[in-house]
Chains A and B, each alone.
Chain A
């Protein structure tokens, strides 16, 4: 590329590490598989209302029946949790967690008047907040998958129903996050930014 850009006003497209792009895509696919198969399992006995409860439409379910849903759920959980673990190790080793995630500065930016800084801050807060939700999904799932072997953590949720509700609630929370995440990243960096996270 020549040093002089043909249009000096357009900022260069943001660049992401190949590792981050890969993680982002794998995580997105794993979340879709986990959710679709999880809702299939939900339908066998709805968390709200039991056998008489409302069920999710077939169109968004993965597995075809309870057994198929479980097969997919307990396969995708490996992709989901292992990619998250490797990502965690990566951001720790590269110290990315120190400068790419929300910090006190972002809280301060929210109180400031600069709207651009506010957008950046909200965006960082949104994608930082989702990390503990993803970890809660894994933890509450593990507590239901092996409630005897992990009795010491299963007990923290109080009752079985609390455990089911906690695990299920990660679905609407992640969904709301995803919508906010897309909206905020568009506000911050436009299509270029979104594109840069995938290709």
Chain B
């Protein structure tokens, strides 16, 4: 699967899948036999079972991921010399939104005692955490990156999640959305980052604010975050953009 570097000139992934399935029906009706013959006859029936295979095994995989996840155990950190500045590839599902950092406000709400709105200036006066970690993409590549920002844990101390809060939702300016289990969200290396490799976060990497973490796959680390919502329940139809497309929800490393 290839990500599109110029997405606003093309279809979004969701549209693409819609059109692809329509053209798939075309194949079924035999309108273009050439294309159909390129699909393996052995694996074609199995490909159609991918959703069922996921439904069968993902609960097992997730329960084991949650079991082995150690909330207090930090992921390895690397020296600054280990940073691979060119290894971090840019992935985005749709547009690259431009946000004015001067008028930007981060909303933190939901199952919390003190809902808040913070400007970038507010966020930058809070303690800065810096880490050099391995960022792992679902596609298989990885990059050693330095991220600087505020720990979600430190923000949670300010807003005080209620006792029943078990999940955290992240909404982005490009309409991307993700949800995390609260233990991973409050891990000491889960940051809302505004620095990358010692410099201000570039807009294509999610400026002004993005999630950065060594304990989840890259697609869990939303860019251009505008809203953080603590909740007691997971909305089954809105667990995450890529999760709806077929990636794992927990996606822990």
Contacts and interface: CB of A to CB of B under 8 A. Distances in A.
B5 to A, nearest CB: 10
A62 B47 contact: yes
A67 B245 contact: yes
A43 B141 CA distance: 11
A67 B46 CA distance: 14
Interface residues of B, number: 41
A138 to B, nearest CB: 15
B120 interface: no
Nearest to B248: A70
Given A72-B46, A72-B53, A44 B253 contact: no
A196 interface: no
Interface in B189-240: 214-215
In the complex, which of the residues A42, A47, A75, A148 has the most CB atoms of chain B within 10 Å of its own CB atom? A148
Given A149-B69, A151-B76, A61 B53 contact: no
A189 interface: no
Majority secondary structure, A binding face: helix
Interface in A9-55: 33, 36, 41-45, 47, 50-51
A66 interface: yes
Interface of A: 33, 36, 41-45, 47, 50-51, 58-68, 70-72, 74-75, 78, 144, 146-149, 151, 155, 160, 164
8 contacts: A44-B1, A59-B39, A62-B46, A68-B246, A70-B247, A72-B50, A72-B53, A151-B76
